[in-house]
Structures are given as structure tokens and as C-alpha cells.
Amino acid sequence: METIFVADPLRLIIVALLGFALLLFLIIRLKLHSLIAILVSAAFIGFGSGMPTDMVLQAFTTGITNTLGSIALIVGLGSMFGGLLAATGAAEVLANTLINRFGSNKAVIAIGITSLLVGIPVFYDAAFIILLPLVFQVARKTGQSLLTFVIPLVSGIGLSQMIAPTPGPILVSGQLSADLGIMTLFALLIVVPAWILSGYLLGKMIGRRMFVPVPETFAANDNSNNGNTASFSTVLLIMLSPIFLILLNTGFSMVETENTALNILKEVGQFIGQPFVALTIANLLALYFLGIRRGFKAGDLEQTMTKALNPVAIIILVTAGGGVLRYMLEYSGTATLIGNFISSMHMPIIVVAYIIAVALRVSIGSAVVSMTMTAGILTPMPQMAELSPAYLALVALVVINGATSFSHVNDSGFWMFKEYMNLDLKTTLKSWTLYTGIASIVTFLIILLISFFVS
């Protein structure tokens, strides 16, 4: 939508604050279902800011369709894939092998390393869904709080979003004319200490304070193959198959050729490397090599996959509701208002970039939109033309970091985390939102420290 509604700035701020207060009141005090509460609050913000009815309806339509279009298939396919891993005993094999080789303490480190590597080529949602069954099994096996392992997982995936070829660095580097190679080198230096502080240590701290069990929907082990499980290498290869296919897509996208045969191969690689296609292939591989070949009946496997879809509907619908709230805030002009105000303050450009990105992220929820709008606000500033390539690369990384910070009720990722973990709203705020806030601040301080040594 190109036209953004313009209202009185004070009115926008007051209505947005009241809208968030209404959302919390409906969920916490009145115990209203999250989906209904989100939709009511979004409508309140839209009409309260003075938006015309057709624009409010468009925010609803765009929020639902765009969000469902991006997550519905991969959430469903990912859930079936995870269900197969659990029901065939494959996830148990992965958990046992990791714990035996690394020990219960080092299993967290193994999860962190895996998530950092997987998060680079794979979209955040897809990586989260692919690796989540493993985390469930490890948490159940060790008896520790699920948050002890989930926080390092999401930390690794989140930090890897600063490394190309993830969309963020490519998008921001293009808008700010920053060198992608320099950004990648700095990002590689940043992610390890940032993960240790905000993933490993913070995960242990949150896990000790809040015990969260594995949700019953995912905790049950339906393994009925009498120990006839696949080997660790087979399970690992099947689990990594969607990641490999998505990597294949990334590699082929960089190939430029006029050779007909290679172009056909490129098109095939790009097709099977799409996340939903890759997850479909992974399900087929799991069905055969982990199921049918191991003696499972096709009918039982079909029931397993159907059962795995049971919690998907609420996850998708609540996430779509978060998309509605995001577009309502974007269309009302609240995000633009906050960004312009902060940009007028006299501060170092790297600090300004972080504050603008965080403010936009908090107000509209979408990381991609926050990155795009922050870069659009920064680009015309006279100071930008005076920055060295290295410092400009750090500013670009700050934009990405700020745009993925402080996730709360207007972010679809917040609701996905809440529903998959089977948490109430208060616990989600105390775990997920707390983590994304602290992780962002820690990462920003590391980048700021590096900037002192860059001219």
C-alpha cells in the first residue's frame, strides 16, 4: 500500500498505547482468546486513529493474506515433518546421540552451533520449525526447562540473520550502499560472542527461573517400531535435506550462464530449493526411509501426520492476527512518526540508526519493514556520505539488529513462539520478549565497541 494515512501525531501515539493496553487487558484480565483480542485491538487502533473504513479493512485483508501466504505451508509441512521424526523414533535417535556425544551441558552448545549454521541459508520460520523437534526431544531427555534449549536455538537463528545470503544484509546493504563483504566479515566476528552472552548464558538464566515443560502435543512418543529406528547418519541426512535443498537454491541463484542445460538445472534447483518444496521432499524422504522402510504401516504414518497438524491451525491464525496488527500500525503512520522524531535528535549516526530501527520494530512488528524504513530514513542524512566503508557496514548491521529486537504482541514471531511453546502471554513476554530485547542490546554494544576502532 503506497498511501499511508496521516493523522494528528499526538492522537496516533495515544491510540497506539491504548490499543496495546487494551490487548493486554483482554488477554490477561478477561482471558479472551489471543486471536479475538488481537483483532479487536487492531480495529480499535485503526478506527481510533481516524483511518477510513476501507483502509482499516485493507489492513485486515493485507495482514491476513500476506502473513498466511508466507507461513501457512511451511508451518504445516514443518509440523508433519516433526511429527514423523518423533513418531518413528528418529528425533529420539538425534537426542540420544547428541547427549551421549556432548553431554547434557554441551548439548546446548551443539544446538547453538547448528542453529547458527542453519539460520544462514534458511528462512527464520523454516529453520525454527525444522530444528524445534530436536529441541523438544533434548529438553524431554534431560528434564530441564524447554527455555534452556529454545533460547539458544532462536538466538543462533536470529544472529545468523546478519550474515548473507539471508535477506536482511542483502536488503540493507543495497539501500545504504554498504559493502556486503565487509558486513559479512564483521557479522562473523559479532555472532559468536553475542550468542554466548544472549543465547547460552541468558538461556541458562531464563531456564532456571522459568520451568517450561515440553508441550503435551509434542511430548508424546508414538514410536511403535520396537526399536527399529534408523541410524544417526540417516536421520541427520534426512533432517538436513531441506536445508541442503534451500542451500542449493541459494547457490544456483548466484549462477549466471547462457548454457541451456545449466539454465534448466538452475531452474530445477531453484524450484526444489523453495522452502515449501524442500519441506515436501523432506516429508517424502522421512515417510519412506524412516517409516515404510522401517516397518511402519502407511495408514499409521498418515494418522501421525494428520495428528501433527492439530496444533497448526491456532498457530497460523494467531500469527495472522499479529500480521493484521502490524499493518494497522504501518498504515496509520505511527511508525513513520516515531522514526522521523528520533532522526531529528543529535546523536552518533550508529546510535541513531539503532534507535530508529528499534522504534520502528516495536511499533510495526515486521523486521523487513523496519529495516526498509530505517534505511530509507538514514539514506538522505548528510552524515551518511561521510562514513567510511567499514563504519557504514557497522551501521547496516545495527539496522538489521535493531529491526529484529524487542519482539512483542504485534510481531508474528511472538505468537508463533507462544503457541509452539504452549505459553501464556505473561510467560511469553518474560521469556521471548525479554530475550529479544537483551539479545539486541548485547549485540548493539558489541557493534558499538567495534565502531570505536573503525574510523
Beta carbons of 364 and 410 less than 8 angstroms apart: yes
Q: Which residue has the higher pLDDT, 198 or 236?
A: 198
- Helices (H) and strands (E) counted in the chain, each on its own, are 22, 0
- Nearest CA to 415 among 324, 344, 281, 291? 324
Residue among 277, 444, 450 nearest 353 (CA): 444
Choose between 69 and 184: higher pLDDT: 184
- C-beta pairs of 39-44 under 8 Å, 24+ apart in sequence: 39/321, 39/324, 41/325, 42/321, 42/324, 42/325, 42/328, 43/328, 44/15, 44/18, 44/19
Q: Is residue 186 within 8 Å of residue 417, measured between CB atoms?
A: no
| 452: helix, strand or coil | coil
Q: Report pLDDT for 153.
A: 92
**What confidence category does residue 228 fall into, taking pLDDT thresholds of 50, 70 and 90?**
low
pLDDT in tens, 139-184: 887 888 899 999 999 999 889 888 875 767 877 887 788 887 788 8
* 424 C-beta neighbours (distance < 10 Å), count: 14
CA distance 147 to 149: 5
The alpha carbon torsion through 391, 397, 398, 401 (nearest 10 deg) reads -170
pLDDT reported for residue 229: 74
Over range 393-414, report the average pLDDT: 89
Residue pair 384/349 in contact (Cβ under 8 Å)? The answer is yes
Q: Given pLDDT bands bounded at 50, 70 and 90, which one contains residue 197?
A: very high
Place of cell 546493504: 173
Amino acid, res. 121 = P
pTM for the whole thing? Answer: 0.64
Residues 257-282 pLDDT 10s: 777 788 888 888 888 887 788 889 98
Question: Domain boundaries in the chain?
Answer: 9-66+313-451, 71-312
Q: Which pLDDT value is given to residue 397?
A: 95
Which of 22-36, 207-221, 245-259, 402-416 reaches the highest mean pLDDT?
Answer: 402-416
List, in order, residues 6 or more apart from 215 with CB less than 8 Å away: 136, 311, 420, 421, 422
Please, how many CA atoms are within 13 Å of residue 43, restricted to the half-sphere of its CB? 8
Taking residue 260's Cβ as centre, other Cβ atoms within 10 Å add up to: 8
pLDDT at residue 289, as a whole number: 92
Residue corresponding to grid cell 521469556:
431
Residue 152: closest CA among 368, 144, 163, 367? 144
The pLDDT of 339-345, averaged and rounded, is 64
The alpha carbon of residue 419 and the mean position of all alpha carbons in its chain are separated, in whole angstroms, by 14
Cβ atoms of 375 and 172 closer than 8 Å: yes
How far, in Å, CA of 93 to CA of 87, rounded? 11
> Which residue is it, cell 513513520?
336
Report the alpha-carbon distance of residue 309 to residue 82 in Å, rounded.
10
Residues contacting residue 453 through CB under 8 Å, at least 6 positions apart: none
Grid cell, residue 61, equals 485483508
9 near 49, Cβ under 8 Å?
Answer: no
* Residue 310 CB neighbours (<10 A): 11
Grid coordinates representing 298 are: 502407511
Count the residues in the chain: 455
Are 412 and 319 spatial neighbours (Cβ–Cβ below 8 Å)?
yes
